[in-house]
Amino acid sequence: MAGIKVAVIGGSGIYKLDAIKVKNQIKVSTPFGEPSADVMECEVDGSSFYFLPRHGIGHKYTPSEVNYRANIFALKKLGVDTLISISAVGSLQEEYAPRQFVLIDQFIDWTKGLRKRTFFDEGIVGHVSAANPIETSLQKRLYEACQKAGVSSHLGGTYICIEGPQFSTKAESKIYRSFGASVIGMTNVPEAFLAKEAGMAYATVAMVTDYDCWKEEHCSVQEIMDVMKSNYLSAQKFVVQAIPSLVKDPVKFIPENAYAVMTDATLHSHHHKEILEVVLK
């Protein structure tokens, strides 16, 4: 396990491919409870990486129930500094069509405050800039991997994150379009911001499944699931291209969390120190 720096967090279909071998499953304890599942140590083309199914094995956690803090903390505790999010989304703009991937660069948080969204609370205060939540050097590398894998993709876009688990009403969808949002999902917030607090390079591969409900065409859940299956085949091809490249030639970036903590060190409890030793390392 030593030296593995790259991880993928996403749906369970990613690792179900002959080219990707699951070598080990690792149970990781965190101060925030259990992650969604054991972290899988995987290998593709001789390159090792970690994989964590965001919704648990069998997709048992709703977007609101995912323990985002435990997931990010567990991966950082294992030494991960480069995190790829693979996520299903709806499209809010005509140009982002189903079965295409969007390498987004911004987020709008439209969740309802139900999710624990920071490592810095309960007696410790910290601030990390979220101006650029995506690590652009990683984003561009992932876009290149999509191109090499033959996956139709877009470089850039804004992801609006809603609470779910219900999809939008038409009125809501039209509002989100008016914001200039490109795609809509339910999981990348607070995941992206927690990765930022943990000093990770984070980037999202957003897989378009449908046109949300703003477009005047019927789209059933079954139809969305069919597109998702197709998208996961593309995602598997993408992973085969992306992982070896990132392992052999790691992304270079500067973590922005080094001076985040404002609370006087003399006030740090054992619990705080346990968190900071991992998040800030």
pLDDT by residue (tens digit) across 152-191? Answer: 999 999 999 999 999 999 999 999 999 999 999 999 999 9
Annotated catalytic residue within 38, 105, 212, 249 = 212
249 in active site? no
> Could you give the CA distance from residue 114 to residue 128 in angstroms, rounded to a whole number?
21
For residue 60, give every residue at least 6 positions away whose Cβ sits within 8 Å of its Cβ, in sequence order, or none: none
- Separation in Å, CA 81 to CA 39, 100, 219: 15, 27, 38
> Could you give the CA distance from residue 24 to residue 261 in angstroms, rounded to a whole number?
35
Annotated catalytic residue within 38, 210, 226, 249 = 210
Q: What angle do CA 50, 117, 263 make, to 5 degrees?
A: 105
Token representation of residue 129:
């800039």
Cα 203 to chain centroid, rounded: 7
pLDDT digits (tens, 9 = 90+) for 53-83: 999 999 999 999 999 999 999 999 999 999 9
Give the pLDDT mean for 33-50.
96
pLDDT digits (tens, 9 = 90+) for 86-107: 999 999 999 999 999 999 999 9
- Separation in Å, CA 4 to CA 51, 110, 225, 228, 245: 11, 34, 32, 29, 13
- Report the b/e string of 2-29 with b at 16+ CB within 10 A: eebbbbbbbbbbbbebeebeeeeeeebe
Confidence of residue 215 (pLDDT cuts 50, 70, 90): confident
Task: Report the mean per-residue pLDDT for the chain.
Answer: 94
Q: What angle do CA 13, 211, 209 make, to 5 degrees?
A: 10
Q: Is residue 263 assigned to a domain? A: no
Q: Is residue 222 assigned to a domain? A: yes
Q: Is residue 277 assigned to a domain? A: no
Q: Is residue 267 assigned to a domain? A: no
Pairing relation of β-strands 39-44 and 101-103? Answer: unpaired
> Could you give the CA distance from residue 228 to residue 234 in angstroms, rounded to a whole number?
10
Confidence of residue 4 (pLDDT cuts 50, 70, 90): very high
> Could you give the CA distance from residue 223 to residue 73 in angstroms, rounded to a whole number?
35
> Could you give the CA distance from residue 235 to residue 229 in angstroms, rounded to a whole number?
10
Q: Is residue 152 assigned to a domain? A: yes
pLDDT of residue 117: 95
Q: Is residue 269 assigned to a domain? A: no
Q: Is residue 81 assigned to a domain? A: yes
Pairing relation of β-strands 39-44 and 158-162? Answer: unpaired
Peptide bond into 190 cis (omega under 30): yes
Q: Is residue 66 assigned to a domain? A: yes
105 in active site? no
Structural domain of 71: 6-253
CATH label of the domain that carries residue 31: 3.40.50.1580
Number of domains the chain contains: 1
- Among left, alpha and beta (phi > 0; psi -120 to 50; other), residue 267 is alpha
